[in-house]
Structure 1
Amino acid sequence: MRASRQSGRPAGAGLPVPEDAPGPPDASGPPEPRSVADAVYAILRQRLMAGHFVPGAQLKEEHIAADLAVSRTPVRAALKRLTLDGMVVAAANRGVFVAEWTEQDIIEVFELRLLLEARATGLASQRATVEQIARLEALNDRLAAAIASTGKGRIADIQRTNSEFHHAVVIAAGSPRLRTILDNLLDLPVIIGSFYFYTDVELLRSLQHHRDIATAIAQRNRDYAEAAMRLHLQATYGLFMQRRQTRRA
């Protein structure tokens, strides 16, 4: 990933705090109230995932603070957390920049997910509780409703529910080590933001993949579960790269 000198300001002031705030904790908490730093982190994270910032754009503390009507202290704390998430890059003596992803970066992420997420799905087929399986099915119902909706936050709902499903599969695997690794791979903005370019047919196909994964886990069929996840990720990768090439043309 690279950082550039291109500057930019956050797009759109006053976004509401996402329902899934605050995200993972940071040991080096800011001196201001924790909820303020959490809110700033959640808003910036949502904007990054939604593609509101150009890759390589500089995120200036003073601009963000003015935009969100907060001091620079919680903004600084939020940017540190986003750096740990890999969503932004801190360049010494230059500032913080939106991470830029090369084609090799993207290939590497999908290759790792194919290996690790397929394994997690296989483990989930052996270890998932009845409650965890029910949650997967409920999330698929929520995803179907989000796809069918016409509301303003439709894509954000699809993004969030898709993410929750993949995280729920990893949790059901019962492997803290896999969960730690995959938590850093599942919510990368360069991939999540691609939902804005999915057609309804493609979204419904992705939903069917999710249903197949949940069914395989419920049936305790490890081979089927791993194959279903691999198919889903391979299809996602193919579609993502196709859209990436189209946007470049």
Structure 2
Amino acid sequence: MQNSSPPKMNATEQAYHGIRNDILTGRLKEGERLTETRLSDDLGLSRTPIREAIGRLILEGFIERQSGYTTRVAHFPEDEAEQVYEIRRLVECYSVQRAARLATEEDIAALRRIHAAMQADTPPRDQAAYQRLTEANEEFHRTIVAAARSPRLTALMTTALDVSMVVRTYSMFSEKDLRRSLNHHAELIDAIEARAPDWAASVMSAHLLAGAARVAARLKTAGSDDGQD
């Protein structure tokens, strides 16, 4: 009888997911200094996988390397989030308009598959479900851009759809926010399938404006809490 349990992560993957999760949940605060020794003790892993995980998280924007060998949790200013959401709105509204004209049946089927997977994980019951949900959300938006059939848009979205920004802002969403987002996704698919570019762009704009408003509110609350310390 075959063992159906998932394969065990190697030490570097364990370190990567452990540190990343601590950043997303706020256990490791923005600007907090990180040392290999401390992370090694916290995670019960040797320093080599910790070092490799830190390197990956620097590339993804979760950690910043400063002078010398000092590393800190990346700072996430409110203005940066506002800029990224506005850039995404401009790019993705145009992308979804093109997708509404050019998407194939396979593209639409892929969007419906992703949407169904996200529905199954909403609300996320554990960290694994949350990880699947955030990855599926990113895949959904990338699939729309791919359906626009424009290498230029794809290149723009590689920058605009920044991994750390998307994941860290998505972590601020409540169950109500997540369900509203899912409803937007469903309507986006309907608009693309109906070949209605203006409808699709209108929904995408509302979708990203709602996300930006939620993130701004959470950052403002976090700033107020910090001021009370």
Bin for the TM-score computed over the shorter chain: 0.7 to 0.9
> Matched residue of 1:89: which SS?
strand
Label 1:144 to 1:121 Cα distance change in 2 as closer, same or farther (>3 A). Answer: same
TM-score (normalizing by structure 1): 0.73
Question: Which residue in 2 is equivalent to 1:54?
Answer: 29
Question: Which residue in 1 is equivalent to 2:126?
Answer: 152
Question: Which residue in 1 is equivalent to 2:114?
Answer: 139
TM-score (normalizing by structure 2): 0.78
Report the alpha carbon displacement of residue 169 of structure 1 after superposing the two structures with TM: 1.9
Give the 5 Å matches for 1:89-238: 89-93=64-68, 95-147=70-122, 151-153=125-127, 154-189=129-164, 192-238=167-213
Structure 2 spans left out of the alignment, 5+ residues: 1-5, 225-229
In 2: Cα distance, 1:94 partner to 1:132 partner:
45
In 2: Cα distance, 1:43 partner to 1:128 partner:
38
Letter of the structure 1 residue corresponding to residue 126 of structure 2: K
More helix by share: 2
Are 2:107 and 2:143, in contact at CA under 8 Å, matched by a contact in 1?
A: yes
Are 2:123 and 2:178, in contact at CA under 8 Å, matched by a contact in 1?
A: no
Letter of the structure 2 residue corresponding to residue 212 of structure 1: E
Question: What percent of counterpart residues are identical?
Answer: 30
In 2: Cα distance, 1:235 partner to 1:70 partner:
40
In 2: Cα distance, 1:128 partner to 1:39 partner:
38
Label 1:175 to 1:41 Cα distance change in 2 as closer, same or farther (>3 A). Answer: farther
Question: Which residue in 2 is equivalent to 1:64?
Answer: 39
Report the alpha carbon displacement of residue 219 of structure 1 after superposing the two structures with TM: 1.9
> Matched residue of 1:147: which SS?
coil
Are 1:155 and 1:195, in contact at CA under 8 Å, matched by a contact in 2?
A: no
Are 1:49 and 1:189, in contact at CA under 8 Å, matched by a contact in 2?
A: no
Report the alpha carbon displacement of residue 58 of structure 1 after superposing the two structures with TM: 1.6
Label 1:46 to 1:213 Cα distance change in 2 as closer, same or farther (>3 A). Answer: farther
Structure 1 spans left out of the alignment, 5+ residues: 1-16, 22-34
Label 1:36 to 1:169 Cα distance change in 2 as closer, same or farther (>3 A). Answer: farther
In 2: Cα distance, 1:192 partner to 1:18 partner:
24
